[in-house]
Structure 1
């Protein structure tokens, strides 16, 4: 090897094995170690003497006052962590450390006096560009965001008074030009983290009690925003769900600070729309409770104090019903069949009497509706037993059919009344309202097809033939089919009434949870079924109709109609779920058994076996989920779901007419009185004084933070407080909405 090659090899080896650069800070000198030790001790005079001893003639210090230790902490950071304000004041002039990072660290610790000093020195609001590099904080992190994330109440108020604010991100579904540019040119990870930190600050109660006069309304709206973000930001969905959970708990805990029924009613009666819009939107007796239902605030609705106020309004003067036994409550609607005429004449002749007021309470509306609905179910039973030998007969032509039609009209009027009292979004938010709409639609189709059948039979071109000669889509057949479906839906509505029962209600709620879980697995099963049915369609089509005669046993075997076409394949795999498909369904029969197609038959058996195993696994998972939903690990969750479902029923009958179907179609003076009160609702709202509500919010906020301070669950106050007396709440004249 030549000398030139050896020199090149040495250069390459030197490049490969050169000493790597270390990311650790340099070692401190003895003077710098003494400097850090004196700063940690907190004696300013000793630090000054050390600096004075090492000051050169030109005025510069003989060591690096901005040095960092192995933890990347400088002297200013140590002084801030120790809470030594005097040391921070001295080092503020001595060192050139980032003042912005120092302010953020002081805010993070929660030292109010130090934050006030730094803000005064830095003069009002701080520019983000002054932040510098710091490993503890991200870029573009404002002081108010840090204070709000840590829940330092006094610091938040101080920063807001100095003009600090949080730039609220746009709606997650916003596609404006600014959002488009941000998504296009920003780093995705940095944007996601910054968005989460911003919402973490905005969702802290210590922050939004300063910027709004209605913390409950703000909590509802930001909760919906967090739920949207949890669905969009899949990587941070658990963090957003955790923030949403804390917001729900805050709204419930905040309302739970009420100490009397008057305070709770003042919250529940708070209007949600501006006064000039009240003529278009009627919000009922408890608008805030309806709003909680709209925003799915389960914890707020299930709060015991909210439930006491709701039950007080629901039972009215019939408070004894709450103390009846469960058996008495179950059979009491049958007794109320006899009181329906009495209540009607009370509303008709003397609507202002105590009897009319008693029967107008929501609990009596519910009991009368149940009583009339029981009669309606008996009418459906007798109508379903009608003789089918009569060729053409419309539902409304029979006696029971006319009674059913009258009840249908009254029920439809009641649903329309509830729809008018509630806005469409709120009406269709309840699953039972959708159920009523579907049930009424099926009854309407039954009557429409019945009338079409009678008209169809009277046409001169249509002969009066027997039923067996009718077309498959004959109006009479379609009317009878719709009537059967309507019957099923009508009887299943009994589950809605059973949800109110204290013992049976939780079981009904658990049933709905089971159905939701089963529906998910049903979708998976349907996908697997479609895959197998499509793959094996026409697989045995050649063997259709073939047979084999076994002369020794004198038996004839025919080819099964299993994989002949798509329909037969679908039926074969579908009936495997209920074990109706037998093993010979996969056999291949060749005419006269000339040759046995074993490979094709093996593929058929593998298909049946694999599909059976998949279905068994899915059914076992459904069984496990059903047991989990019926017997949950936390019975409180099931109880809470039942209370929420019962509350929706209570609110429904608060908006329902005072008379049940079909008596609500008859004239009554109480309805006139109800409409008159509704027309003057705006006038009453204008006369309300919102000062009481704002004062109540201040009182509840003070109670809430005192409760959190005693529990130690939340940083409701800073570590060091103002020396001057400051108000705990500074209510604003207007609310900032999300």
Structure 2
């Protein structure tokens, strides 16, 4: 399509400037020097007068600006260039306070200039602009700007100031009554807001949530609006971890904010210079009340998975000192001296147990109550329990009769298991059902204890069965498949395996075995993932083979000798079974 020589531009098209008229670059005959190019975006264009005013504002010459406005009393001071920048934007970018005051006095519109002032961190200019907004409409200073080219509509001044860590501006806004409302979680389905937003505009809601969390995770904001910054950082970090598990699309955003909060809590712990200060931090509770735990803040850090805080040297030093208690010189002892201290304690355990009942507040008892002493006692008692299980297993080899075993170790084992049950019940009552079963080791302990209880019930059942029906010396090959004695043996074997495997819980305190145990758990998770794919492939092949072999199910073939052979149920059914004739093949010979 050629452009006509009438000199007029067609609407929506822009001609290319004149081409050079030298011979080499002159267009071929029959072609036009203009090409029609569509203009898809309509952007504002500055006139010469407006360009002059922009240059005067950019130069910072207030006298020239006043002279210009006197010459042009009808000039539009709110003119904008193609980037939607007004003269006030230019003054804010230059951080020219006097020019900003001059333009505001001339009635210029603020628009989103106060947000740009926050981004620059200029408190003086921001204060002027905010006062101007509040003068026109007091409610507008708490909101963002709808038609901003750089900021979203939900970007309020306080959120933007918190994201950029501007401490002075945050303080100014908090003094004026600004606040940040916590966003709803991604799995919230409240009728007021979340259900509608998920149906209509889920992306906008997610971006607004992330922007709000960025502001709430600001260290400058938390330091000024929270009475307990460490607790606030823990709670918000835990909430961000949960949001990362729910909203997978923004997992990296949520986890990066959670890591920032963990670094903030660690930086606060860095400020502690004495042991008393660290203890004061660790003794804080969520509501400021007393707690049964010596360090409730430490317990809360474990629940919210604040690994950096727990691994901090200040925290570890206080924990080690409280772990040792009266054994403060333990670290400086040699292996021989440590052995000489532990062995007498183990030998005198019955004596100290008696002292607990007679004189619970004596000095010896206080020395005994240190965490390391309790750990040694509980470890030794558990090893004794394992020795009882081992002795029970070895002595039971000589018993081949029906009924419960009678080695003499059954009652001590029952007493130990009842003690485990009492300990687990107390722990469950103290921490609550949800928190108790949230720890996998607690679930393991409860499963082991229940296995032993089922084993004891099977022993009782077998005892009553032999007492009522006899057949104590019946040969094992004639026992019923669900005989109580067999069930008791199986449950005792399972319980013994669980009891010995529980030693892994004690090995966690070792600096070498602990990391290896974590690696083992990760390896088991990878194995389970592989098995899931393996079983998927096996099910696929089984489905195909079942279709091929179904026709031959139960077929009988007679060979030349007259021997009958029956097709078993292999690959002919999803449920393995034995054909009713398979056990009596000798009758067909």
User: Who is 1:37 aligned against?
Assistant: 55
User: Who is 1:309 aligned against?
Assistant: 318
* In 1: Cα distance, 2:523 partner to 2:549 partner: 39
1:105 to 101, 116, 121: 116
Alignment of 1:348-367 (within 5 A): 348-367=357-376
User: Who is 1:116 aligned against?
Assistant: 127
Alignment of 1:162-561 (within 5 A): 162-180=176-194, 182-183=196-197, 186-273=200-287, 275=289, 283-323=292-332, 336-385=345-394, 386-387=396-397, 389-395=399-405, 397-460=406-469, 465-537=474-546, 539-542=548-551
User: Who is 1:141 aligned against?
Assistant: 155
CA drift of 1:24 comes to 5.4
1:563 to 550, 571, 578: 571
User: Who is 2:22 aligned against?
Assistant: none
Contact 2:401 2:472 in 1 (8 A): no
* In 2: Cα distance, 1:484 partner to 1:330 partner: 34
Contact 2:189 2:195 in 1 (8 A): no
Contact 2:144 2:156 in 1 (8 A): no
Between structure 1 and structure 2, the one with the greater Rg is: 2
* In 2: Cα distance, 1:46 partner to 1:328 partner: 89
Alignment of 1:663-702 (within 5 A): none
* In 2: Cα distance, 1:32 partner to 1:223 partner: 50
- Are residues 80 and 393 of structure 1, via their aligned partners in 2, closer, same or farther at CA, if it must alter by over 3 Å? same
* In 2: Cα distance, 1:330 partner to 1:302 partner: 29
Structure 2 unmatched runs, 5+: 1-9, 14-34, 578-589
* In 1: Cα distance, 2:509 partner to 2:175 partner: 50
- Are residues 233 and 184 of structure 1, via their aligned partners in 2, closer, same or farther at CA, if it must alter by over 3 Å? closer
- Are residues 384 and 181 of structure 1, via their aligned partners in 2, closer, same or farther at CA, if it must alter by over 3 Å? closer
* In 1: Cα distance, 2:430 partner to 2:500 partner: 26
* In 2: Cα distance, 1:208 partner to 1:226 partner: 15
Flag as ranges the 4+ runs of structure 1 deviating above 6 A: 13-18, 325-335, 461-464, 544-550, 557-561
* In 1: Cα distance, 2:558 partner to 2:341 partner: 68
* In 2: Cα distance, 1:530 partner to 1:336 partner: 58
CA drift of 1:538 comes to 5.5
SS in 2 for 1:200: helix
CA drift of 1:70 comes to 4.3
* In 1: Cα distance, 2:38 partner to 2:308 partner: 57
Is 241-250 or 127-136 further displaced after alignment?
127-136
* In 2: Cα distance, 1:108 partner to 1:15 partner: 37
CA drift of 1:334 comes to 6.7
TM-score between the two structures when normalised by the length of structure 1:
0.67
Matched, 1:92 2:118: no
* In 1: Cα distance, 2:494 partner to 2:520 partner: 21
Q: Which has the bigger relative contact order, CA under 8 A and spacing at least 6? A: 1
Note the alpha carbon deviations across 1:643-663, whole angstroms, 9 max, x for none. Answer: xxxxxxxxxxxxxxxxxxxxx
Contact 1:25 1:68 in 2 (8 A): no
Contact 1:27 1:69 in 2 (8 A): yes
Note the alpha carbon deviations across 1:7-65, whole angstroms, 9 max, x for none. Answer: xxxxxx99999863442534434443333233223232232233334x1xxx212xx54
* In 2: Cα distance, 1:531 partner to 1:337 partner: 59
SS in 1 for 2:154: coil
**Number of equivalenced pairs:** 539
Is 330-339 or 505-514 further displaced after alignment?
330-339
Note the alpha carbon deviations across 1:359-415, whole angstroms, 9 max, x for none. Answer: 1111111111111111111111111121264323425x4311122112112222233
- Are residues 262 and 534 of structure 1, via their aligned partners in 2, closer, same or farther at CA, if it must alter by over 3 Å? same
Is 28-37 or 537-546 further displaced after alignment?
537-546
CA drift of 1:558 comes to 11
Note the alpha carbon deviations across 1:416-441, whole angstroms, 9 max, x for none. Answer: 33334433333333222221111111
CA drift of 1:318 comes to 1.1
User: Who is 1:28 aligned against?
Assistant: 46
User: Who is 2:68 aligned against?
Assistant: 50
* In 2: Cα distance, 1:24 partner to 1:504 partner: 69
CA drift of 1:165 comes to 1.4
Contact 1:226 1:243 in 2 (8 A): yes
CA drift of 1:193 comes to 1.1
SS in 2 for 1:283: coil
Alignment of 1:581-596 (within 5 A): none
- Are residues 42 and 149 of structure 1, via their aligned partners in 2, closer, same or farther at CA, if it must alter by over 3 Å? same
SS in 2 for 1:241: helix
- Are residues 243 and 320 of structure 1, via their aligned partners in 2, closer, same or farther at CA, if it must alter by over 3 Å? same
Contact 2:133 2:140 in 1 (8 A): yes
* In 2: Cα distance, 1:78 partner to 1:169 partner: 34
* In 1: Cα distance, 2:216 partner to 2:442 partner: 35
* In 2: Cα distance, 1:318 partner to 1:39 partner: 75
Contact 1:539 1:565 in 2 (8 A): no
* In 2: Cα distance, 1:346 partner to 1:210 partner: 52
CA drift of 1:239 comes to 0.8
Structure 1 unmatched runs, 5+: 1-12, 551-556, 570-738
Contact 2:392 2:410 in 1 (8 A): yes
* In 1: Cα distance, 2:442 partner to 2:384 partner: 21
* In 1: Cα distance, 2:38 partner to 2:82 partner: 18
CA drift of 1:161 comes to 0.7
CA drift of 1:566 comes to 2.7
Contact 2:403 2:466 in 1 (8 A): no
User: Who is 1:603 aligned against?
Assistant: none
- Are residues 246 and 327 of structure 1, via their aligned partners in 2, closer, same or farther at CA, if it must alter by over 3 Å? farther
Note the alpha carbon deviations across 1:311-342, whole angstroms, 9 max, x for none. Answer: 12111111233445689989987775323224
* In 2: Cα distance, 1:513 partner to 1:325 partner: 35
TM-score between the two structures when normalised by the length of structure 2:
0.83
Contact 1:333 1:371 in 2 (8 A): no
User: Who is 2:91 aligned against?
Assistant: 79
